Amino acid sequence: MNPLHSNSAFVRSLTRTLATLPAYQTGAALADAPPAFTEVGVRYSHYSEDDIDASSVIFGATSRYDIDITQLWIEAPVGASWSVALDVQNDYQTGASPWFVGTDQNGQPGVIMSGASIQDNRVEVGVATRYFWADGNAGLNVSHSDEDDYEALSMAFDASWNTAGNTRTWTTSVSNSRDKVNPTQGVIPVFVTNEALDTQSGYFGVSQILSRTTIVRVGLNYTYSDGYLSDPYKLNDQRPQSHERIALSTGYRHFLIDANASVHFDYRYYADSWGVDSHTVELGWAQHFERTTLTPYFRYYSQREADFFQVVADLNEPHFADDYRLSSYGAMTLGARWAINLGDWTFEIEGERYWSDANWGLYDGDPAPALVDFWRGTIAIMWRFD
């Protein structure tokens, strides 16, 4: 770990671990046969946050995070009923993030930033295997993530099976993650050592073919975390030791034959034991052309603030946080993905822009001064062979 440690690494790892849990994998039923080809792929993404508004900063740099993400993978059939996959990912981030929120001489809240010379690197390796039978499939996934201040080991099992003439697919998954937190001292003081976090998650859902061009789904996630859930790299952050989360997700896909395009609609309702609840809607249009597919999409998100969030944290409360990600706000995303198929090769280009604003939300709450806007760009190459 670079001594100028990122104060984002912990939460980054925390959320990564949660996101790794397969209970969140609510994808369509896999074809109940191993992939016909071996696939090798590489994907590079760059994530860049806009500078924070100088008028919101009391002290420190206005620049925020840039992250370079490289993904490599190979996935192959094994015999008639199995597949295996190996995924390796490296994240390299630089920049600064909010350390805490204070007040200026006029009593207005402002951000004290961590410093602008943060560097951090994370490597994650995942191995997955899947067994296929006539009416379903089941998979096991193990992954390990490591960086200087955070280590996570997660394991997940999922299964899908088809009924009703293979028009209905039931899916379930369970997972567990055990994480170790060892924050490092850097340009900002840290008062935490050797903490742990244990997370279990479960998912149950069903997808149904409604017609030759329409399919829908609904699913329910439940996740429980116990352990250290605060952010040791934020000065004023003391969260509860447990966290229950539940998410109801729905999806709709419809193929328009005349337009040679697919319409996508997804909605999620989320609520948790910290008082946060949110609505997420995503709309997409996948237009087929000869050898290529262009998919523009729009996403809207709105969340209610956590019970213990305050713009300027009150340290006399049993739990407190001034993290803007726990505030009430709304966000919009515009993006597009372009896939080009050339025989055994597939090329992908994707870009999106994310804006957040306290006034765009559905819920009341005091605006946090550090809401983020960002760009993300991705390119990928995949090769399939026998």
Partner 1 sequence: MKNALCTVGIVAPLLLQTGCVQMESVEAWDRGYLAEDTMQWETDARSARLKGHVYTSKEASTGGSGAAGGGCGCN
Residues 124-143 that bind partner 1 (CB under 8 A): 124, 126, 143
Count residues binding partner 1 (CB under 8 A): 107
One of 60, 100, 114, 217 touching partner 1 (CB under 8 A): 217
Per CB under 8 A, does 114 bind partner 1?
Answer: no
Per CB under 8 A, does 73 bind partner 1?
Answer: yes
Residues 29-68 that bind partner 1 (CB under 8 A): 41, 43, 45, 47, 65, 67
One of 101, 109, 122, 313 touching partner 1 (CB under 8 A): 122
Three-state secondary structure readout of the chain: CCCCCCCCHHHHHHHHHHHHCHHHCCCCCCCCCCCCCEEEEEEEEEEEECCCCHHHEEECCCCCCEEEEEEEEEEEEECCCEEEEEEEEEEEEEECCEEEEEECCCCCEEEEECCCCEEEEEEEEEEEEEEEECCEEEEEEEEEEEECCEEEEEEEEEEEEEECCCCEEEEEEEEEEEEEECCCCCCCCCCCCCEEEEEEEEEEEEEEEEECCEEEEEEEEEEEEEECCCCCCCCCEECCCEEEEEEEEEEEEEEECCCCEEEEEEEEEEEECCCCEEEEEEEEEEEEECCEEEEEEEEEEEECCCCCECCCCCCCCCCEECCHHHCCEEEEEEEEEEEEEECCEEEEEEEEEEEEEHHHCCCCCCCCCCCCCEEEEEEEEEEEEC
Question: Least distance in Å: CB of 340 to partner 1?
Answer: 13
Per CB under 8 A, does 218 bind partner 1?
Answer: yes
Per CB under 8 A, does 370 bind partner 1?
Answer: no
Per CB under 8 A, does 209 bind partner 1?
Answer: yes
Per CB under 8 A, does 13 bind partner 1?
Answer: yes
Per CB under 8 A, does 5 bind partner 1?
Answer: no
Per CB under 8 A, does 113 bind partner 1?
Answer: no
Residues 290-349 that bind partner 1 (CB under 8 A): 293, 295, 301, 303, 306, 325-326, 331, 337, 339, 348
Per CB under 8 A, does 91 bind partner 1?
Answer: yes
Per CB under 8 A, does 212 bind partner 1?
Answer: yes
One of 32, 50, 87, 146 touching partner 1 (CB under 8 A): 87
One of 161, 255, 363, 383 touching partner 1 (CB under 8 A): 255
Question: Toward partner 1, which CB reaches closer, 10 or 57?
Answer: 10
